[in-house]
A and B are shown apart, each in its own frame.
Chain A
Amino acid sequence: MRSFLLIAFLIVGSTSFSQQYTVSGSVKDSTNGEDIFGATVKVKELENTGAVTNAYGFYSLTLAAGTYTLIYRSSGMRTQEIKVDLTSGDQTLNIELGVPTDVLQVEEVKVTAVKENENITGSGMNVTQFDPKDIETIPVIFGEKDIVKTIQLTPSVKSAGEGNAGFYVRGGGTDQNLVLLDEATVYNGSHLLGFFSVFNSDAIKDVSLYKSGIPAEYGGRASSVMDVKMKDGNLKKFGISGGIGLISSRLAVEAPIAKEKGSFIISGRRSYLDLFLKLSSDENIKNTRLYFYDLNVKANYKLSDKDRIFVSGYFGRDDFGFGDQFSFDYGNATGTIRYNRIITDKLFSNTSVVYSNFNYQFTVGDSEDGFGVSSAIQDWNLKQDFSWYVNKNNTIKFGVNGTHHTFIPGVLTASNESFNEIRLDERYALELAGYVQNDMKIGKRFNLMYGLRYSGFDLVGGKSFEFDEKGNIVSDSLYDRWETIHYHHGLEPRLSMSYVISEKNSVKLGYNRSYQYLHQLSNSTTSSPTDIWVPSSNNIKPQIADQIAVGYYHNLKDNMYRISTEVYYKNLLNQIDYRNGADLVLNNEVEGELVYGSGRAYGAEFLIEKKKGNLTGWIGYTLSRSLRQFDDINDGNEFPARQDRIHDLSVVAMYRINQHLAVAGTFVYYTGDAATFPSGKYTLNGETVPYYTERNGYRFPDYHRLDLGLTWYMKDKKRFTHNLNFSVYNAYARENAYTITFQENQETGETEAIQTALFKIVPSITYNFKLK
Chain B
Amino acid sequence: MKQFALFIGMTALIAACQKKIDIDLNEAGPKLVIEANYNAEDSMVFVRITETASYFGSSSEPIVETAGVTITDQSGNATVVPYSSNGNYILHDYIPQFNTTYTLYVEHNGVTYSASCELNAIVPQSDIFIEQSTQAIGGGVQGGESSDDTTYIAFLVFQDPAAPGDFYQGEYTVNGAVKSGIENMILLNDDLTNGNMVTFPVFGRTFKQGDSLEIDFRAVDKTIYDYFTELQTLTETNSAAPANPDYFWSNGALGYFNAYGSSKKFVIFP
Q: Chain A: residues with CB nearer than 8 A to chain B?
A: 193, 282-285, 287-288, 290, 320, 322-323, 325-326, 328, 362, 364-365, 412, 416-420, 422, 522-526, 528, 530, 577-581, 583, 585-586, 633, 642, 676-687, 689-693, 695-698, 701, 735, 737-742, 748-760, 762
Inter-chain contacts of A693 with B (CB < 8 A):
26, 28
Alpha-carbon distance A757/B13, docked complex (angstroms): 10
Inter-chain contacts of A419 with B (CB < 8 A):
192-193, 196
B229 interface hit (Cβ, 8 Å): yes
B233 interface hit (Cβ, 8 Å): yes
Contact assessment for A701 and B58 in the assembled complex, using a CB-CB cutoff below 8 Å: no
In the complex, what's the smallest C-beta–C-beta distance from A195 to chain B, in angstroms? 9
Given contacts A680-B31, A680-B53, contact A284 B231 (CB under 8 A): no
Alpha-carbon distance A581/B227, docked complex (angstroms): 8
Contact assessment for B241 and A676 in the assembled complex, using a CB-CB cutoff below 8 Å: yes
Binds A, one of B91-99, B119-127, B208-216, B243-251: B243-251
Alpha-carbon distance A494/B180, docked complex (angstroms): 57
Contact assessment for A681 and B192 in the assembled complex, using a CB-CB cutoff below 8 Å: no
Contact assessment for B7 and A581 in the assembled complex, using a CB-CB cutoff below 8 Å: no
Alpha-carbon distance A697/B241, docked complex (angstroms): 11
Q: Which of B55, B179, B197, B226 has a CB less than 8 Å from the CB of A680?
A: B55
Inter-chain contacts of A412 with B (CB < 8 A):
192
B55-72 interface (Cβ within 8 A of A) = 55-58, 61
Q: Chain B: residues with CB nearer than 8 A to chain A?
A: 1, 3-4, 7-8, 10-23, 25-28, 30-31, 33, 35, 50-58, 61, 135, 137, 140, 143-144, 179, 181-182, 192-194, 196-200, 226, 229-231, 233-234, 237-246, 254-256
Given contacts A420-B193, A752-B20, contact A530 B33 (CB under 8 A): no
Alpha-carbon distance A363/B241, docked complex (angstroms): 28
A-B contact pairs, 8 of them (CB 8 A): A193-B11, A418-B199, A676-B242, A682-B53, A684-B256, A690-B242, A691-B55, A738-B16
In the complex, what's the smallest C-beta–C-beta distance from B1 to chain A, in angstroms? 6
Residue in chain A with minimal CB distance to B247: A580
Contact assessment for B53 and A681 in the assembled complex, using a CB-CB cutoff below 8 Å: yes
Inter-chain contacts of B255 with A (CB < 8 A):
682, 684
A-B contacts at CB below 8 angstroms, number? 213
Given contacts A680-B53, A691-B52, A735-B17, contact A685 B7 (CB under 8 A): no
In the complex, what's the smallest C-beta–C-beta distance from A567 to chain B, in angstroms? 29
Contact assessment for B28 and A758 in the assembled complex, using a CB-CB cutoff below 8 Å: no
Residue in chain A with minimal CB distance to B56: A751
Contact assessment for B240 and A685 in the assembled complex, using a CB-CB cutoff below 8 Å: no
Alpha-carbon distance A685/B194, docked complex (angstroms): 29
Alpha-carbon distance A680/B61, docked complex (angstroms): 11
Contact assessment for B61 and A698 in the assembled complex, using a CB-CB cutoff below 8 Å: no
Inter-chain contacts of A420 with B (CB < 8 A):
192-194, 196
Of B1, B55, B61, most buried by chain A (CB within 10 Å of CB) is B55
Given contacts A676-B241, A680-B55, contact A580 B246 (CB under 8 A): yes
Contact assessment for A682 and B52 in the assembled complex, using a CB-CB cutoff below 8 Å: yes
In the complex, what's the smallest C-beta–C-beta distance from A26 to chain B, in angstroms? 47
Alpha-carbon distance A676/B199, docked complex (angstroms): 37
In the complex, what's the smallest C-beta–C-beta distance from A432 to chain B, in angstroms? 33
8 A-B pairs with the lowest CB-CB distances in the bound complex, closest first: A581-B230, A679-B28, A680-B52, A680-B28, A682-B33, A750-B58, A682-B52, A418-B198
Inter-chain contacts of A680 with B (CB < 8 A):
27-28, 30-31, 52-55
Contact assessment for A754 and B20 in the assembled complex, using a CB-CB cutoff below 8 Å: yes
Residue in chain B with minimal CB distance to A524: B238
Contact assessment for B246 and A320 in the assembled complex, using a CB-CB cutoff below 8 Å: no
Contact assessment for B238 and A753 in the assembled complex, using a CB-CB cutoff below 8 Å: no
In the complex, what's the smallest C-beta–C-beta distance from A582 to chain B, in angstroms? 9
In the complex, what's the smallest C-beta–C-beta distance from A524 to chain B, in angstroms? 5
Residue in chain A with minimal CB distance to B233: A581
Inter-chain contacts of A579 with B (CB < 8 A):
246
Inter-chain contacts of B17 with A (CB < 8 A):
735, 756-757, 760
Contact assessment for B21 and A530 in the assembled complex, using a CB-CB cutoff below 8 Å: no
In the complex, what's the smallest C-beta–C-beta distance from A368 to chain B, in angstroms? 13
Inter-chain contacts of B246 with A (CB < 8 A):
579-581
Contact assessment for B3 and A740 in the assembled complex, using a CB-CB cutoff below 8 Å: no
Contact assessment for A678 and B11 in the assembled complex, using a CB-CB cutoff below 8 Å: no
Residue in chain A with minimal CB distance to B246: A580
In the complex, what's the smallest C-beta–C-beta distance from B157 to chain A, in angstroms? 9
Contact assessment for A687 and B19 in the assembled complex, using a CB-CB cutoff below 8 Å: no
Residue in chain B with minimal CB distance to A420: B192
Contact assessment for B7 and A679 in the assembled complex, using a CB-CB cutoff below 8 Å: no
Residue in chain B with minimal CB distance to A529: B4
Alpha-carbon distance A324/B30, docked complex (angstroms): 49
Alpha-carbon distance A580/B193, docked complex (angstroms): 24
Alpha-carbon distance A677/B135, docked complex (angstroms): 35
Q: Which of A416, A676, A754, A756 has a CB less than 8 Å from the CB of B12?
A: A756
Inter-chain contacts of A287 with B (CB < 8 A):
135
In the complex, what's the smallest C-beta–C-beta distance from B128 to chain A, in angstroms? 15
Inter-chain contacts of A362 with B (CB < 8 A):
3-4
Given contacts A422-B192, A691-B244, contact A684 B33 (CB under 8 A): yes
Inter-chain contacts of A752 with B (CB < 8 A):
20, 56
Inter-chain contacts of A697 with B (CB < 8 A):
26
Given contacts A418-B197, A526-B8, A679-B28, contact A685 B35 (CB under 8 A): yes
Residue in chain A with minimal CB distance to B196: A418
In the complex, what's the smallest C-beta–C-beta distance from B86 to chain A, in angstroms? 12
Residue in chain A with minimal CB distance to B160: A418
In the complex, what's the smallest C-beta–C-beta distance from B254 to chain A, in angstroms? 6
Inter-chain contacts of B23 with A (CB < 8 A):
677, 698, 740, 753
Inter-chain contacts of B28 with A (CB < 8 A):
679-680, 691, 693
Alpha-carbon distance A687/B235, docked complex (angstroms): 11
Q: Which of B16, B31, B256 has a CB less than 8 Å from the CB of A756?
A: B16
Contact assessment for A692 and B243 in the assembled complex, using a CB-CB cutoff below 8 Å: yes
Contact assessment for B8 and A585 in the assembled complex, using a CB-CB cutoff below 8 Å: no
Contact assessment for B15 and A678 in the assembled complex, using a CB-CB cutoff below 8 Å: no
Inter-chain contacts of B21 with A (CB < 8 A):
701, 737, 740, 753-755
Given contacts A283-B144, A755-B19, contact A682 B192 (CB under 8 A): no
Inter-chain contacts of B234 with A (CB < 8 A):
689-690
Contact assessment for A698 and B197 in the assembled complex, using a CB-CB cutoff below 8 Å: no
Inter-chain contacts of A683 with B (CB < 8 A):
33, 35, 50, 61
Residue in chain A with minimal CB distance to B158: A418
In the complex, what's the smallest C-beta–C-beta distance from A737 to chain B, in angstroms? 7
Contact assessment for B4 and A750 in the assembled complex, using a CB-CB cutoff below 8 Å: no
Contact assessment for B192 and A530 in the assembled complex, using a CB-CB cutoff below 8 Å: no
Given contacts A418-B199, A580-B230, A691-B254, contact A682 B237 (CB under 8 A): no
Given contacts A642-B240, A754-B21, contact A691 B200 (CB under 8 A): no
